[in-house]
Structure formats: structure tokens, C-alpha cells
Chains A and B, each alone.
Chain A
Amino acid sequence: MNSAVSNRQSVISTVDPHSGFSPRQFAICLKGIVWRESLRFLHQRERFISALVRPLVWLFIFAAGFRQVLGVSIIPPYQTYILYAEYITPGLIAMIQLFNGMQSSLSMVYDREMGNMRTLLVSPFPRWYLLCSKLVAGTAVSLLQVYAFLLIARFWDIGPPPIGYLLILPALVLSGLMLGALGMLISSVIKQLENFAGVMNFVIFPMFFASSALYPLWQVRESSPLLYSVCKFNPFTHAVELIRFALYAQVNWTSLAVVCGCTALFMLSAILAYDPSRGFLARRGEAAGAA
């Protein structure tokens, strides 16, 4: 190893810790976290491909197979009869974000086990800000996946009005934040990576199937009023409907309120869970060993 540096100032802090951080420094921190998440995503090509293949399989195979079986009547926001493939497209978009949110959660558990998470948590920025930045980064990654899916779907004759591609953006940001915050909350209660398989069975599948992603809720009500109630209270249903309406240049106000409320609730819970004085991490005694 080389000898030490001659310039004392280059090692010793010249920072006044009392001075706090400027808005620009907050922006640098956010940018750094988004940049790192994007790099990780781009390096994991399999993740990108599987994130695309999953909804495309549903669109190309499932929707084609069930085209004649599942009839969709004219329901808002649609003004005419539509093909089943068109109906499930918003559901598949939300599915991409749901999987992405859970993938982020998985990577947080992995980072905690591998120790990378500590790098984030010992940053001097407020912890709530670090977690929110992480959430924004995950949402940004999900946007890339959604637009790649919409591009391919366009060649499959899934063509919402062109303005829909722009108007869907705020809806995607909100639903991405909600599902990412849910993933973050889940990551705080999962002790080991191995427990993550349970998330598939107890979170992803029930959320996806008990929603309006694959079938309109009036059809569900006809077969089971109880299931209908479950679907109506499922936040994922509202993410799907928010996206569906936005894609056709409309706003579903109920869904907007539910998604905003759930985002705030999940995020607040995740921040509390990662707070050293209140959180699950401290109670489990994890940071010293594996976190």
C-alpha cells in the first residue's frame, strides 16, 4: 500500500456538521440512489426480461385463450365493446409494478443480509428521506418496465388514445409508490431471504387475483358477493382502476384517494419500521449480526 498523503486537509473533514445539508445536496443524494437502482436493474438483464415476459405471456396467451369465455360489457372508462386483451392491459401494467415493488422488497432483504443496506442506513441524511428516495428509485425502474411493455403491446393492437400514454404517467407514479411502499414495509418484517417465497403466496397472488385486473368486479359480484367486497377493499384494485381510467384520459377519484391514502399509510409504517428506536429491526436484534 502506498504511503500516506502529504496533504492533511485531504483526509480530515473540513465539513461543519452543524451546517446541515442544502436542497442541492438532498437532490444529489436522491439522484445517487436512483442511479444506483437503475444500474443494478440494467445489470440484471434477466430481471428486465422476466419483468417483460410475465405480462406478455398473460397478454399473448391467457388473453387470447379467454377471449371468447370472458365477455366484457361496456363499463367506464370504455365507451364501446373492447377485446379482453385490452381490458386486462391496465391490470398487467399494475402487475408489473406489483412485482417490481416486491422485487425491490426482496432486494432490500438481500441487501440487509449481505450488509449493503448498512451503507444506506449510515448516511447522515434523515432516514425517512433515504427510504423515500429508495422508493422513488424503485418506482422509476417500474416506469421503464411499463413503457417497454406498452410499446410491445402496441404491436398487439393494444392502442389506447395517444394522450393516454402521457396521462398514465402520474397514475403510474402513484401506484408505483404505493406498491413500492408496501414492498418496503414487507421487507422490514421479513427476517430472512428464504421467507420471501411466502410473499408470493400470501401477498402477490391474492392481491392480483382478488382485484379487477383480470375481470370486471360486476362479474365477481355475480359469483360471490363476499369476494366482491374483498376485491373492493383491495388497494391493488384501485391501482388498476386508477391506471385504467388514466389510460383513457379520465380520473377515477375514489381510486385516486385510496391509492394516495394507502401510499401514505404504507410509507409511514415502513419509515417507523426502519426507525432504530421503534422499528422491527431493533426488536429483532438484527443489525449487529446480519443487517
Chain B
Amino acid sequence: MTTPMLSVEAVSHSYGARRALDSVTFAVAPATFAVLLGLNGAGKSTLFALITRLYATQRGRIQIFDHDVERASGEALRILGVVFQSRTLDLDLSVMQNLMYHAALHGIRKREAKTRADEVLARIALNDRAYDKVRSLSGGQMRRVEIARALLHRPRLLVLDEPTVGLDINSRADILRYVRQLVADHGIGVLWATHLIDEVADNDDVVVLHQGRVLAHGAVSRVVEGCGVTNVRDAFTRLTRSDHSTVEAG
């Protein structure tokens, strides 16, 4: 059996008395585009904070490839690329300076970092903006730079927390297409958190997270079938309205 790129096992997390995640379990296989689908407040950002070790895991276990995020955080973070929901670029630095800073945070030498930065910028068609300040970019361009930055250290798993929030329809489509292409061409595992159902494609995997609990996970077609409906939108509506059962599809 292939080692999953990401494995989340029985993870629970509370803020005081409020439980944000309740025994969350799912896995992302290599070369898979998995959508973490949930409404605002479902617990997606908390899960991201745990995967990226901004929080310590209170209960359960998270592994990236075969590295435990708690016990071997360095190894786990080394093969993880992250795009957070909020912008994390330094607006007063240029695109290239932001990329070089990220490369240094991964111990990549300057010359190598420059080569990789040129490569990723060409890939997102922003090489002509390399020396412009990030502040001068549009929202969609900033997102593309953040994705490029997350790929700079060549991760095996890319996690993106609502990366298309606030973007126009074309930018959203561009970014989705680009990330799906990465999965198809390079075998990267992707966990894409969103509350936008139209970002789910038929051949994706989906994890439906609602009020901190996983209501369904597996291939989209299986989840839809398991709910006895014809599309993912109806499946999501049915699952979140009658939040008492868990659908698991292999």
C-alpha cells in the first residue's frame, strides 16, 4: 500500500471548552487533489494550523509522508508547501526578495534559490514582475506568488487554505487549473481547503468537514453515490443538514 502524503488520524482540538475538531481522520494519497470542503467555522483553519505545527496536536496524530508532525516537525515541514488563507507575503519587499527569504528559511543557497525562483516565476508567468514590490501586484498575482513560493523548496505535499478567497472568477480558474496541473504532471499531493463547492471536480477526493467533524471522505463519485444524490452540491447539502452519519468512500 502506498504511504499517504498526509495522514490525519483521530485528531481532536479544543479552545478551552469549545471543541474545534472532533476525531478527524482522513488521508491524502500521492498525486491526489483532495478538497477539504466545509463552511466557515468548520475547523479548516484549525486543521491547517495543526498540519503546519503552528499549534501542537492535542489528541490524535498527523503525519506528512511518514514523518510525525509533532515528533519530527523539521522533516515534516521540509516536504510541506503551505499557502495560508491570509496573505503572508511581505508587501514592502519585491517578489524576488520574498522568494529569496523563503529559500533562506529552507537553507537553500543563494545561487540555487535564484535559479529556482526564476523557474517558478516563469511557471506562473510573473517573471517580468520579479523586481516589483509585492504591494503593486493584484490579488490574483499575489496568490500566484504565494503558490510559487510554496513550491520553491520542492515539497511533496502542498496544502492551501482557501487560496481563492477574494479573487475574481478568472484568477480563481487560473489558480485551480495550475494546481491541478501540478498534481497531474508531478505527482504532488494537494489538500485544498475551500467553502466553494464549484471548486470540487468529479475526479477529486473530498473531505467534508462540518462543525469540526468529518462527515464524508473519499472519491467525489463515491461520496455522491453514498449520499444517494447526483452531484457534490446536493451531497454536501444533505450531509450538513442531517449531520448525524459519516459517509466513507474508498
Among B93, B123, B181, B187, which residue has its beta carbon within 8 angstroms of that of A12? B187
Q: Which residue on chain A has the smallest CB distance to residue B186? A: A11
> A7-24: contact bitstring with B at CB < 8 Å (1 yes, 0 no)?
010111111011011101
- Asked if A121 CB lies within 8 Å of chain B CBs, one says yes
B88 in complex: contacting residue of A8, A10, A115, CB < 8 Å: A115
Query: Min CB distance, B66 to chain A, in Å?
Result: 10
Number of A-B contacts (CB under 8 A): 170
Residues of B within 8 A of A289 (CB): 45
Q: Min CB distance, A87 to chain B, in Å?
A: 39
| B46 contacts A by Cβ under 8 Å | yes
Q: Is the CB of A4 within 8 A of B154?
A: no
What chain A residues lie within 8 Å of B151 (beta carbons)? 11
Q: Which residue of A lies closest to B151 (CB)?
A: A11
CB pair B156–A1 under 8 Å, yes or no, is: no
Residue in B86, B123, B153, B188 whose beta carbon sits within 8 Å of that of A114 in the complex:
B86
Question: Complex Cα distance A39/B65, Å?
Answer: 36
Chain B residue at minimum C-beta to C-beta distance from A33: B104
Query: Quick one: which of B46, B122, B153, B154 contacts A288, CB cutoff 8 A?
Result: B46
Instruction: Give the number of residues in A that approach B within 8 Å (Cβ atoms).
Output: 55
Assess the A39–B93 pair: CB atoms within 8 A: yes
B144 is an interface residue with CB less than 8 A from chain A:
yes
B104 & A13 in contact (Cβ 8 Å cutoff): no
B59 interfacial contact with A, CB 8 Å: no
B residues with CB within 8 A of A = 15-16, 20, 45-46, 48-49, 52-56, 65, 67, 70, 73-80, 82, 84, 86-90, 92-93, 97, 100-110, 119, 122-125, 144, 151, 153-156, 174-175, 177-178, 181-182, 184-188
* Interface, chain A (partner B; CB < 8 A): 1-5, 8, 10-15, 17-18, 20-22, 24-26, 28-29, 31-33, 35-36, 39-40, 43-44, 114-116, 118-126, 130, 275-277, 281-282, 285, 287-291
Kindly list 9 other residue pairs between chains A and B, CB separation below 8 angstroms, not including A36-B93, A44-B92, A115-B86: A1-B174, A10-B154, A17-B78, A24-B107, A32-B100, A33-B105, A114-B87, A125-B74, A277-B70
